[in-house]
A and B are shown apart, each in its own frame.
Chain A
Amino acid sequence: MSLEARLSLRRPGFLLDAALSLPERGVTTVFGPSGSGKTTLLRCLAGLERPAGELALGGEYWQRDGYFLPAHRRRVGMVFQDGRLFPHLTVRGNLRFAMRRAGCEEAAMDAPVALMGIERLLARRPDTLSGGEVQRVAVARALLSQPRLLLLDEPLAAVDARRKQEILPFLERLTRELALPVVHVSHSLDEVIRLADRLVLMDEGRVVASGGVTEMFSRLDLPLAQREDVGAVLEAHAPRPLPGYHLTEATVAGQKLLLPGESAEPGERLRVRIRARDVSLTLKPPSETSILNVLPGRITEVVERPDAPGQRLVRVAVGDAALLSWVSRLSAERLALAPGQAVYAQVKAVALA
């Protein structure tokens, strides 16, 4: 059930003009500054706005040539920023609202309820729930509507930082188990790294770029590379704790990398984020260094950023992945850093995502 969309919507002072093509499963995060049209795009997919253009899911048109399938017949599960639970119904009533219209048996409630950990909330009214609980119920409710497409509109925006860490694992688990496309709107880098398989960057109503998360974060021509905390995001495989050292060894880009902590479960998919400012480059393999992680690679790109004239941002290919590194312009000239050159990337800190 892949999704193909070409949509435009004019609003006073704003034009959404976006093309989108999503695979049949996995999480696509729409990322961009506020006002860039992320939520509007999501609302168009849900049928809550009437844009011009075409939209099809799994080859079935929801919108084309004046035909418009209304929201209630699209079977789109939408989780709004503020949850939008029905205040006149209990949590169970909210879930039943979705189930009855999707033709579900009462027992269908069990799995999403367990997945979201809301068993003890069923008899409660929405106004007695915390922000995080509201969002977990909202996700369960959306799942019970038997959606063909799941839309998450900044599901954690109204949740405080501590609660976010409580909900993110639920969302992570959920999005990996679902066999349907998930579109997730966010402006939190943390959420992107935890949840996204693919990234769609939006700015001023347009799709600037889209692609896999690791690829997108290693590109130097995107707004992501203009961020203060620019850095690469890499997949880490086969984590193995090193007891006593509070470290975990994992395979990243074909190399062994030591990660902080011992929390990783064996077999778990892990992502690590390595900021450009935590990576330094040497031409020879360093010996007798306190830095644990040294990865051999080859420079593919060196760019100057207008806001940092004394610095160069360097992209280093390591295996099939890439690292980014900030070096001073002086160092870049002394080491004659240029594309094609073999270097060793010394990684000072790795953040587990």
Chain B
Amino acid sequence: MTDPDLAALWVTLKLATVTTIVLLVLGTPLAWWLAHTRNRLRPLAEALTALPLVLPPTVLGFYLLITLGANGPVGQLLNALGAQPLAFTFAGLVVGSVIYSLPFVVQPLRDAFAAVGHGPLEAAASLGAGPWDRFFTVAVPLARRGFVTAITLGFAHTVGEFGVVLMIGGNIPGETQVLSIAIYDHVEVLEYGRAHLLSGGLLLFSLILLTVVYATNRRSRVVGS
């Protein structure tokens, strides 16, 4: 692999890792709320969460570019605070990826929390466990498979991202150039050998990751039954 390819790999892994961590921090409370609320606005919240599943990534990227760019509301706010606009930066990529991969983290977590239900939490409360205690010692361990799925899908989906990154990240090697865009560049200039290397690598990586997850989930199901 050449240096620019290695740099793209590094940016990709960094982006996927940071995005997954941010998504866990933001997505867990959102998933908890969606699983437990009786609020009338829940369907709207669920629809908003699921939007990235159906929208073309370019639509998402386009609006993000406008919002985050120097003239967008977020861009102007950051400018007023003396910060750089987010478009064409790694931070901008993280924002885009978080939105783009949101459903892949929130939906498995929401389903896992819903499956845990109120029963074990009520039992824990009656045994003297407060809300945070119940969450970390009962809800999270029981939703363990949901977390494994959420982390894997969030990570893998971010690794495979293309459209949003292209729209808001540009293609700055070592800064915002990720693997999927590097592949695109190689193909455009007919460097099929290098495109093969990266594509095959991604394919193998995704396959291995998903196999490990499904095997783990299956094993915990067997143990648990």
Task: Identify the A interface with B (CB < 8 A).
Answer: 46-48, 70-78, 80, 82, 84-88, 97-98, 101-102, 127, 141-142, 145
Verify A72–B123 contact, CB threshold 8 A. no
Supposing A71-B122, A82-B119, A127-B225 touch, asked if A88 and B141 sit within 8 A by C-beta, the answer is yes
* Residue of B120, B127, B134, B225 with most chain A CB atoms under a 10 A cut-off: B127
Supposing A87-B142, A88-B142, A127-B225 touch, asked if A77 and B119 sit within 8 A by C-beta, the answer is no
Chain B: number of interface residues, binned into ranges: 20 to 34
**How many angstroms between the C-alpha atoms of A77 and B138 in the bound complex?**
18
Report A-chain residues with C-beta under 8 Å of the C-beta of B142.
86-88
Q: Is B137 an interface residue (CB 8 A)?
A: yes
CB distance from B72 to the nearest CB of A (A): 44
**How many angstroms between the C-alpha atoms of A71 and B126 in the bound complex?**
6
Mask, B135-150, CB within 8 Å of A = 1, is 0011001101000000
- 19 sampled A-B residue pairs with Cβ under 8 A: A48-B126, A70-B130, A71-B126, A72-B131, A72-B134, A73-B128, A77-B126, A78-B123, A78-B126, A85-B123, A86-B120, A86-B123, A87-B224, A88-B142, A97-B127, A97-B129, A98-B128, A101-B129, A142-B126
CB distance from A320 to the nearest CB of B (A): 39
**How many angstroms between the C-alpha atoms of A248 and B221 in the bound complex?**
54
Q: Is B125 an interface residue (CB 8 A)?
A: yes
Task: Identify the B interface with A (CB < 8 A).
Answer: 119-120, 122-131, 133-134, 137-138, 141-142, 144, 224-225
CB distance from B113 to the nearest CB of A (A): 14
Closest 8 CB pairs of A and B: A101-B128, A84-B123, A71-B125, A78-B126, A88-B141, A98-B127, A72-B125, A145-B127
Verify B130–A72 contact, CB threshold 8 A. yes
Report A-chain residues with C-beta under 8 Å of the C-beta of B138.
86
Verify A48–B125 contact, CB threshold 8 A. yes
Supposing A86-B138, A88-B142, A97-B137 touch, asked if A70 and B119 sit within 8 A by C-beta, the answer is no
